[in-house]
Amino acid sequence: GTDEFKLQMRQNGEAYIQADSSQYRRPIVSNVYNEPIDIFDRQLYEKGSCVLHMLRHELGDALFWKAIRHYVAKHRGGNVTTPDLQGAIEESTGRNMDAFFDQWVYGAGHPNLTVSYEWDEKAKQAKLTVKQTQSDDQGGREVFVTPVDVSFAVGRRHEDFRIQLSEREQSFYFPLASRPKMVRFDPGGWLLKALEFKRSPELLTYQLKNDDDVLGRMDAARGLGKLASNEAVAALKEAALKDAFWAVQSASARALGDAATPAALDALLACVDVAHPRARRAVLAALGNFRDDVNGRGEKAAKALERVLVEGDRSYYVEAEAAAALGKTRSGIAFAALELALEKKSHNDIIRARTFEGFAALKDPRAIPLATEWTEYGRSYQARDAAAVCLGKLAEYTEQKEPIRDRLIELLDDPWLRTRLTAVGALRAMNDDKAIPALTRLAARELDGRVVRTCREAIAALRKGRDKGDELKKVREELDKLREEHRSLKDRMEKVESKGKRKKA
């Protein structure tokens, strides 16, 4: 239905933005590549879908489908290029599409927006300030010019406006009858963007409970998770248990995991049996954020996850999520429970695959022999590939790296394409430049362009990362320490707040 479609478009946009920020940036239309397969990527598929989605919103449904019908009828049985699509739209709608295609199809990147909201009670006026913070490097634009919708819930009505973004920073003013109970920027999620929009706890709580747009409720859940107050946790717990759409329940569970307070843990533990299996998966994944520590939160989370693995679940995928999350807690009970999980058969061998993800997160070198065994030919490719990834990550936590490197190099000759790809990635994760000769040989003989590209990227990363392994390990350890200190500080603040409330009572 509509909710699932909106969710899919949101996921497409997030997948593209992640690739754009972490890998490389390019326009949808590009003739720069080493292998033809190189252009079949997130920029082409996921960004392409988002651009069509924006085009539909800009034209409106009637003109959009008129243009598509004209396009497919005109070019039936023939070959087409991007100008053919633009031409068909212009012929059928009478609109010039140069600016849209130049910006979104032939241009790279997307707007990064920071939005702030103010209410002027005296003037009965809402103010939105929109800043474009993206840079114009790698072919991006300093300023994107695009319409975007804004909506305010005032009383029982929604006041809707359309604004035009055209500068690095702009302020927009909206006369309203009274202070809005909800403020939405781009309701429906039509615009491809990265957005930061901080709002008050009251606005976010109201939106989580009342927005009829699932994307709005998901955004509100994310915002409340960053606040991490007891009131925010209570609202998130209610949404995780009762929202009508599983993705909002999941977003609320993830937000509770991000909050990572004792109250958030209690809320998640109350949600482990929520009805929808995808929501249950999100709850269990969020429990993985609670690591074993002096406050005992990790142990509580680990026991709940262990119970799911021991007692089972109606969904294989819920059990698989429990295995992956259990490893992330780094609890003392995790290793034995994960060993037992390897005995479970499941659809697509998902439980074993996610169990190896748990072993990797556990950072316990005792799992190395198990992972090595499960890379053997004859096992399911899902389990083999997950075991290979696990080996690449666990190499950091043992002095005996050579056997791991040798086994992964052997997998470069595996008859299964995906296993070869996985082995390349695992060798890259090891950050061992002694793997470069083997990767170079594979790139020279491999017929599949995806493997060739992955090899080249791995070789470049290994050459760049020489002698940086210890530095990276130190940074990770410092990040882990900072996370624990942050959680401990949250605990102390909550205790102080709790004492203050009891005194007032």
pTM of the predicted structure, to 2 decimals: 0.90
What φ, ψ does residue 280 adopt, rounded to 5°?
Answer: -60, -40
- Per-residue pLDDT of 301-318, as tens digits, reads 999 999 999 999 999 999
- Per-residue pLDDT of 9-43, as tens digits, reads 999 999 999 999 999 999 999 999 988 999 999 99
Q: Which CATH superfamily is domain 201-404+412-419 in?
A: Leucine-rich Repeat Variant (1.25.10.10)
Average pLDDT, integer, range 167-184:
98
Residue 114: CB atoms within 10 A of its CB come to 15
- Per-residue pLDDT of 330-389, as tens digits, reads 999 999 999 999 999 999 999 999 999 999 999 999 999 999 999 999 999 999 999 999
- Per-residue pLDDT of 129-160, as tens digits, reads 999 999 887 778 999 999 999 999 999 999 99
Highest mean pLDDT among 89-103, 124-138, 455-469: 89-103
Asked, colleague to colleague, whether 2-104 and 201-404+412-419 share their fold, the answer is no
The rounded Cα 489 to chain-centroid distance in angstroms is 27
What pLDDT does residue 500 have?
64
Give residue 184's identity as a one-letter amino acid code.
Answer: R
Stronger pLDDT, 490 or 464, i.e. the higher one = 464
Instruction: Provide the pLDDT confidence category of residue 399 given band limits of 50, 70 and 90.
Output: very high
How is domain 2-104 classified at the architecture level of CATH? Orthogonal Bundle (1.10)
The matching CATH number, chosen from 3.40.640.10, 3.30.450.20, 2.60.40.1840, 1.20.1300.10, for 112-197 is: 2.60.40.1840
Distance CA 163, CA 84 (A): 30
Distance CA 420, CA 398 (A): 24
Does 327 have pLDDT greater than 80?
Answer: yes
Average pLDDT, integer, range 72-85:
98
Contact indicator for 355, 338 with CB cutoff of 8 Å: yes
Distance CA 229, CA 497 (A): 10
Nearest alpha carbon to residue 128 among 199, 217, 177, 211: 199
- Position of tokens 């950072």? 363
Does 391 have pLDDT greater than 50?
Answer: yes
- Position of tokens 């819930």? 153
Give domain limits for the chain: 2-104, 112-197, 201-404+412-419
